[in-house]
Amino acid sequence: MGMVDGKICLVTGGASNPGIGHAIAHKLSSEGATVIVTDLNGDGAAATAAEIVAAGGVAQAWAQDVTTESDWNQTMERIKDQYGRLDALVNNAGIAVLKTLTELTLEDYNRQMLVNMTSVFMGTQRAVELMRATGVKGSIINMSSIVSLVGVPACSAYAAAKGGVIGFTKTVAAETAADGIRCNTIHPGLIDTNMQRQSSVDNPEEYVKLHAAVPMGYMGPPQTIADAVLFLVSDLSTYMTGAQMVIDGGLINQ
């Protein structure tokens, strides 16, 4: 018996491998969930779903741009039609625009907010609507970052988006608690994914430095975040809402 047997779970940004969404999709499936993987990269999402099916799980993939309202409407309609319910939404898709304040353009800033914050609003609003309409006491997990909790140079736009996700999540948690719907944030530290590796492409020494910067001595594997998502989707966390889970190998230690 799995921890999330029979639950219908939507994971956005599940194409990147190694990536947090990819690890979450695999983890939820390995514990019995039916997983819908979406991503801007439809072929990558399909590859993740194919891996899950090959491993004996139940998954399907759709292309979805989380910044587009019509894509959110279509995704939720398809879930309603095919499954009649949604037990968990993991708002994981994201980008990192890392520029100092003086380098940032308004276009950079708006793009960062659209992908990492506005998308979370659109997905959460529709998930809550479907959960309420079907009486599902679902779980919504919004991916924030430790950068929303401590100051890090070149992260002002990213931090604004990830910080916005905290206040948004807490407010939604307050509005949906009486429905039994839960909404929490996860705050990863340095996690070894394509996003993190991208910053080291031109500077391999940076990759070594990143590992060394963590008190535990290494960047977290994406599975460490997937384990936390599994807990938040499962019935082990039914009394937890509006909370912030920091998973960072002791990096900010607060």
Ligand X SMILES: NC(=O)c1ccc[n+]([C@@H]2O[C@H](COP(=O)([O-])OP(=O)(O)OC[C@H]3O[C@@H](n4cnc5c(N)ncnc54)[C@H](O)[C@@H]3O)[C@@H](O)[C@H]2O)c1
Q: How far is the CB of 242 from ligand X (least distance, A)?
A: 19
For residue 75, give the amino acid letter: T
Length of the chain, in residues: 254
User: Closer CB to ligand X, residue 19 or residue 164?
Assistant: 19
Q: For residue 209, which of 220, 222, 218, 198 has the smallest C-alpha distance?
A: 218
Q: Which of 46, 66, 120, 181 binds ligand X (CB under 6 A)?
A: 66
Stretch that binds ligand X, among 3-11, 88-96, 104-112, 237-245 (CB under 6 A): 88-96
The span from the CA of 242 to the CA of 94, in Å, is 21
Q: How many CB atoms lie within 10 A of CB 160?
A: 17
Binding mask 137-176 for ligand X (x = CB under 6 A): ------x-x-------------------------------
Catalytic residue list contains 218 = no
Catalytic residue among 158, 207, 218, 239: 158
Stretch that binds ligand X, among 75-83, 91-99, 130-138, 237-245 (CB under 6 A): 91-99
Stretch that binds ligand X, among 25-33, 54-62, 92-100, 231-239 (CB under 6 A): 92-100
Q: Which of 3, 152, 195, 243 binds ligand X (CB under 6 A)?
A: 195
Q: How far is the CB of 190 from ligand X (least distance, A)?
A: 5
Q: How far is the CB of 141 from ligand X (least distance, A)?
A: 11
**Looking at the annotation, which residues are catalytic?**
158
